[in-house]
Amino acid sequence: MIIKKSELLITAARKEQYPETTVPELAFAGKSNVGKSSMINALLNRKSLARTSSSPGKTQTINFYNVNDVLNFVDLPGYGYAKVSKTEKEKWGKMIETYLSSREQLKEVILLVDIRHEPNANDIQMYEWIKSYGYTGFVIATKADKISKAQRIKQISIIKKTLNIDDISLITSFSSSEKLNVEKVWELFEGILSLN
């Protein structure tokens, strides 16, 4: 996709703050610091549209990004950050669940995992949650530039096994810094949305 326009529409903590748009939405879930914001920036060819941070737990709202007025990217709060209180975690969980269960424009939820690590209990729970809502179960394995090509193949099979994924083609390795598989991810999204 040729990006002519990309902007942060709104950051929402409650359902009534969601933007009143009718375009399809793709949401990104993943633990804190997995690289959701970096991926959004890489896909939109922007340096800092989505704010990135070296300290996990930064995204505490649902962030909606307008892409070419035909699509919204939705960055969900990162989960599993240890330094966040239990009540805060529950609040985020509710926030994510409300969005997933009530947003009609939502076409697909994509799980991001760090390719270097085996998915943990939170990732497994999130993946099962995504599947239980009827979504396909696409996974983007981020930070692929940090390991060799041979290691990537090995790690992808670990991710497949841990998340109990039947079809390995649902998993795409990705690197924001090297723009690895940016076009492949766009092809995936265009397939999901049948965008021309």
Domain membership of residue 67 (yes or no) is: yes
69 secondary structure, DSSP code? T
Domain membership of residue 145 (yes or no) is: yes
CA distance 79 to 36: 12
CA distance 45 to 175: 13
* Cα 181 to the center of its chain, rounded Å: 15
Number of structural domains in the chain: 1
Residue 104 is predicted with a pLDDT of 95
111 secondary structure, DSSP code? E
CA distance 89 to 196: 39
Domain membership of residue 112 (yes or no) is: yes
- On the question of pLDDT at 196 being above 50, the answer is no
Strand partners, 64: 10, 74
**Does residue 63 contact residue 8 with C-beta atoms inside 8 Å?**
yes
Q: Which of 60-69, 81-90, 167-176 has the highest mean pLDDT?
A: 167-176
Residue 77 is predicted with a pLDDT of 87
Domain membership of residue 1 (yes or no) is: no
CA distance 191 to 175: 21
Residue 110 is predicted with a pLDDT of 98
Structure-block tokens of residue 8: 């942060």
Mean pLDDT, the chain, integer: 91
Domain membership of residue 185 (yes or no) is: yes
The pTM for the full model equals 0.92
Note the pLDDT tens digit of each residue in 31-85: 988 999 999 999 999 988 987 765 555 557 899 999 999 999 999 988 876 566 7
Residue 74 is predicted with a pLDDT of 97
Residue 53: which CATH number?
A: 3.40.50.300
The torsion angle over the Cα atoms of residues 128, 27, 84 and 55, rounded to 10 degrees, is 120
Residue 148 is predicted with a pLDDT of 96
- When pLDDT is averaged across residues 128-146 and rounded to a whole number, the result is 96
Domain residue limits at 84: 6-195
